[in-house]
Structure 1
Amino acid sequence: MEYILQPWPWYISGPCIAIIMFLLLYFGRTFGMSSNLRTLCAIGGAGKRVEFFKFDWKSQRWNLVVVLGAIFGGFIAHYFLSNPINMDLSEATINDLTALGFNDIGQSLLPPELFSWDAVFSIKGILILIIGGFLVGFGTRYAGGCTSGHAITGLSSLQLPSLVAVIGFFLGGIIMIHLIYPILF
C-alpha cells in the first residue's frame, strides 16, 4: 500500500503556530530569523567592527534553536515529507512561466533555471545574490526585523509597526514580481 504525503491541514498547523507564539510571548521571547542571524554574527566576532553586533549574545543562545530547526526541518521536509508528484498548475501560469523561459514547469518547486549551480555561479546569479542579500539585510535592519518576525510575532502581539512592515513586504513582493522580475529574467 502506497501512502502519499499531504501537507498538514490548516487546523493542525495553525494551532501549532499559535501555541508556539503563546509560549514565546509568555516567556518574553520573540520569533524571527534576523535576530538569530544577528546572534550568529555576534558569535563570529562582528561586534569588533560593527556596533549593531555588540550585545550579550549569550543571553540569545536559546534562539539558535530556530536556526537549527530551520536547517533540520528543511532537510526532513525535503527528504521525508515531500510529495514527489508533479504540481497541477493552471494553463495561464504555465504560459506565463514558459514566456519567462522556464522548462519542465510543475515538475519541481525549485526550477533549475534559478536554483541550479550553473544559474547560481553565473555572473547574473552572483549579482542577484549580492544585491538581493544587501537589500534584504538593509530592509531587515531598516524595518527592525524580518518578515517572519513581523508577520508572526509582531502581528500576533498587535504591534502597529509590524502591520505597516507586513503591508510593505507584500507591496514590495508585488512590485518585484510584476515589475522587476520580468526585467531580470
Structure 2
Amino acid sequence: MNYILDPWPWYVSGPLITVVMALLLYHGKTFGMSSNLKTMCTMVGADKVSDFFKLDWKDYTWNLFVVAGAIIGGFIGSHYLSNDSITNLNPTTITELKDLGFNNIGAQLVPAELYDWDAVMSTKGLALLIIGGLLVGFGTRYADGCTSGHAISGLSSLQKPSLIAVIGFFIGGLIMANLILPLIF
C-alpha cells in the first residue's frame, strides 16, 4: 500500500477536519467556500452596488487562504499525489453510465464527457455551466451558505438551519443524479 498516493482513510482525514473545525469555532470563525466569494466581491467594489456586500472584508482575508489552499492542494494532489488506479464502482452504476454515453468509467477522477475542453466549450456544455452556475449561486445565497459551510461548519456547531440545508442538498443531489442527469444525456 502506497500511503502517499492512496486516499487518506477516514480515521486520518476525519480527525484532521475535526481539529480544524474546533480551532475555527474556538476563534469564532466559520468555514465555507461561498463566504470567500462574498469577500472577493466586496474587495472589488460590490459594496457600492449592493448592501449585501457591505462588510469589512479585511476581517475575512484569513478565509481567502482556504481558497488558495484548495487550489494549490488540488493541483498538488492531482499532479503529484495521484495514482492511476481505476475507481472501483458498482457494476450497475457502470452499466447505467455507459447507457448515458460515458466511456472509461472510473478511469479518471472526472468524466471527460463533461470536463474536457471540447465538452465545456460546446453549446450544451456552456449552457450547463451557465444554468448550473446560476442555480448554485441562487441556492447558495438562498440557503445563506454552501455545502461545505453548512455540512461542516453549521452541523458541527449544531445549527438547525444547516441541518435543513444539508437535507435539501442531499435531496437535490438525488433528484439531479436520478431524474435530471439522464434527461441531459
Which TM-score band (shorter chain)? over 0.9
**Partner amino acid for 1:145?**
G
Which residue of structure 2 aligns with residue 44 of structure 1? 44
**Partner amino acid for 2:32?**
G
Please, what TM-score do these two structures have when normalized by structure 1?
A: 0.95
Which residue of structure 1 aligns with residue 145 of structure 2? 145
Please, what TM-score do these two structures have when normalized by structure 2?
A: 0.95
Which residue of structure 2 aligns with residue 10 of structure 1? 10
Which residue of structure 2 aligns with residue 57 of structure 1? 57
Which residue of structure 2 aligns with residue 118 of structure 1? 118
After TM superposition, the structure 1 = structure 2 runs for residues 66-77 of structure 1, keeping only pairs within 5 Å, are 66-77=66-77
What secondary structure, in the 3-state scheme, does the structure 2 residue paired with 1:29 have?
coil
Deviation at 1:87, TM superposition (A): 2.1
| Residue 108 of structure 2 corresponds to residue 108 of structure 1 | yes
CA RMSD of the aligned region, Å? 1.3
Q: Deviations over 1:115-146 (max 9, x none)?
A: 01111011111111111111111111110100
What secondary structure, in the 3-state scheme, does the structure 2 residue paired with 1:55 have?
coil
Q: Deviations over 1:52-82 (max 9, x none)?
A: 1121111111110111011011011101211
Deviation at 1:3, TM superposition (A): 4.3
Runs of 5+ unmatched residues, structure 1: none
4+ residue runs over 3 A deviation: none
Which residue of structure 2 aligns with residue 31 of structure 1? 31
Q: Deviations over 1:141-167 (max 9, x none)?
A: 110100000000000000000000000
**Partner amino acid for 1:25?**
L
Which residue of structure 2 aligns with residue 180 of structure 1? 180
What secondary structure, in the 3-state scheme, does the structure 1 residue paired with 2:108 have?
coil
What secondary structure, in the 3-state scheme, does the structure 2 residue paired with 1:28 have?
coil
Which residue of structure 1 aligns with residue 164 of structure 2? 164
How far apart are the structure 2 equivalents of 1:158 and 1:29? 15
| Residue 130 of structure 2 corresponds to residue 127 of structure 1 | no
How far apart are the structure 1 equivalents of 2:81 and 2:13? 15
How far apart are the structure 1 equivalents of 2:180 and 2:78? 30
Task: Give % identity.
Answer: 63
**Partner amino acid for 1:119?**
A
How far apart are the structure 1 equivalents of 2:161 and 2:103? 41
Runs of 5+ unmatched residues, structure 2: none
What secondary structure, in the 3-state scheme, does the structure 2 residue paired with 1:158 have?
coil
Deviation at 1:90, TM superposition (A): 2.6
